[in-house]
Amino acid sequence: MWDYGENDPHATSESWFGLDTKHGGADKTGHIYAAYLFGRGSAELYMNWGFERSEAAARGLLTSLALTTVMEIGDSFSDYGLSPQDLVANAVGMGLGYILSAYPKAGKFIDLRVEYLPSALDGDPTTDYEHMKHLAAFKLSGFDALGSSWLRFFEIHLGYYTRNFSGPSEGDEERNLYAGVGLNLSELLATTRYGGVFRYLQLPYTYLAADDCR
């Protein structure tokens, strides 16, 4: 999959969001999301195990650091090489995961999520950027004044995705920023066991958005 161990360790600058990059920057937003998921998700697990919030957030940060470091060391031995841009993206994701775990007032307002809608069930879903979107969701349920209002079931989205950087449409590349309004499924399903899942995953077709294609 990543051809780990087939090369001597090396570093390669991949740039950021340019049309001349491999994924148009979708891999960088993917790194932000993965580091965030490792950190905030494991912090929640530590809290479930009985750790205080501050210690759980710190342990989540260290868990994310450990996991992403192992991944980047592996990359350094692959054809890709260790990417300085990936390290920065990882740091951003780790930082966001820590802040939103350690400070619950902020965490009530903001989620980072991934939306994935594959066209087939083959390939590697962790790097299938052609069918992903990464987004930040700003949840109206974070406002205490809306605690009993129907408005708490809505949220504002700001996201990024790329298309046609690989596959049959390669050569007609798109980089898309979008903003939208969606349903807050974690709030709608708060009383079920599934509500927490939608703090990290965005269900397709549950929002209206306007795109800016570059």
Helix orientation angle between 26-48 and 84-102, rounded to the nearest 10 degrees: 40
Which pLDDT score, from 0 to 100, does residue 77 have? 79
Backbone φ and ψ for 161, nearest 5 degrees, come out as: -155, 160
Arithmetic mean of pLDDT, 46-70? 97
Q: How far apart are CA 111 and CA 130, in angstroms?
A: 22
Q: Highest-confidence range of 11-25, 53-67, 184-198, 199-213, by mean pLDDT?
A: 53-67
Q: How far apart are CA 99 and CA 83, in angstroms?
A: 25
How is residue 37 written in tokens? 């998921």
Which pLDDT score, from 0 to 100, does residue 96 have? 98
Asked whether 161 and 17 are in contact (CB, 8 A), the reply is no
Residue 27: left (phi > 0), alpha (psi -120 to 50), or beta? alpha
Which pLDDT score, from 0 to 100, does residue 21 have? 87
Which pLDDT score, from 0 to 100, does residue 169 have? 62
Asked whether 35 and 95 are in contact (CB, 8 A), the reply is no
pLDDT digits (tens, 9 = 90+) for 78-129: 777 778 898 999 999 999 999 999 999 999 999 999 999 987 766 678 889 9
- Output the average pLDDT for the chain: 90
Number of other CB atoms surrounding residue 4 within 10 Å: 15
Helix, coil or strand: residue 71:
helix
Asked whether 196 and 175 are in contact (CB, 8 A), the reply is no
- pTM for this one? 0.91
In 3D space, the residue among 29, 28, 15, 31 whose CA is nearest the CA of residue 159 turns out to be 29
pLDDT digits (tens, 9 = 90+) for 152-203: 999 999 999 999 988 666 678 999 999 999 999 999 999 998 889 999 999 9
